[in-house]
Amino acid sequence: MEGALEAMAPSAPPTGGVNTAGLADFLRKFFAPLFLVVVSVVAIFFLFTREITRFVQFIILAIAIGVIFYVPNIIEVTARAIAGALGIK
């Protein structure tokens, strides 16, 4: 009985923050393939309807958004910049 109570008791006090280690990698691995599928479907739609101007605009936007998913550390740097601008340490 005493061992069960010790196992249920927290071994260390909470550190006060949320553990976000690996969060950016998880998001990148989860959303990047989904992003590629959506871009492919929409691009094929624009090509079949022969809307070349919208296709070019969409591809430029997709490349800009794709940089966010595939450039290492861009999510972390952007999150730190936003947190710094809001005054959060």
Between 5 and 33, name the one with better pLDDT: 33
Nearest alpha-carbon partner for 79 in 36, 23, 17: 23
What is the model's pTM? Answer: 0.53
- Which pLDDT tens digit goes with each residue over 41-60? 998 988 888 888 888 999 99
Give per-residue pLDDT as tens, 7-46: 555 555 556 667 777 777 787 788 888 888 998 899 898 8
